[in-house]
Amino acid sequence: MTQWDQILREEWYSQEEPDEIVVNFVAPLKKKSKRMRVLDLGCGAGRHQVYLTKQGFEAHGIDISQTGLQLTKERLKTQKLDGHLIRCDMKMLPYVDLCFDAVISLHTIYHQKLKGVQETVSEIKRVLRKKGNMLLNFLSKRTYSYGKGVEIEENTFVEQEGTEKGVIHHFTDKEELKHLFVGFKIDELKLVEREVGGKLRSRLILVAMI
């Protein structure tokens, strides 16, 4: 059992409505072809698996958490939808090269050290088809939780309390992301910030094409 098996049982981590940025990302993709094959890297409890499948995409999901995959299966079954789910590490995707038209990954890729992030980006690049699209988000170094917990390498901390106790968080900025995604055509790289309970939540949204 992983830490995420427990975390994904929490209500906030098992929301049902798709994130607005995913809805906006897939809207132009539908105009190209509804039968696009899309990978949700870190599908969690499955809200985007359900949404993508209902929109007509061939949606695939991977996650390290068996609990998350089970919740996703149940949600798909309830709505009589087919799913393609695999439990695996995001740094070692069990897919052949050039097999996806798009990859989305929210609140996932930054839960590892920088080397792990680099390896995951390489895997995304490997499985994306030419002119394939991707949507990712990252924790900004401006967010309120930067510097909290135990620092295990530069800009990378392990939470010491709360729901995500023991979980790795890597924080980044635009310059590092531009370096990480050399070879990709970056269509959008923006900072999205909001205050919640007096705390600044800051994330970087990356939309790119290979």
Per residue in 29-63, pLDDT (tens digit) is 988 776 899 999 999 999 999 999 999 999 999 99
| Per-residue b or e along 112-126, where b marks 16 or more CB atoms closer than 10 Å to that residue's CB | bebebbebbbebbbe
What pLDDT was estimated at residue 12? 58
- State the pTM of this model: 0.93
What pLDDT was estimated at residue 117? 98
State mean pLDDT over 137-145: 97
Per the CB < 8 A criterion, the answer to whether 62 and 40 are in contact is: yes
pLDDT tier at 83, thresholds 50, 70, 90: confident
Task: Find, among 186, 58, 63, the residue nearest to 134 by Cα.
Answer: 186
What pLDDT was estimated at residue 139? 98
Instruction: Transcribe 136-175 into DSSP letters.
Output: EEEEETTSTTTT-SEEEETTEEE--SSTTTT-EEEEE-HH
CA separation for the pair 190, 174 (Å, rounded): 8
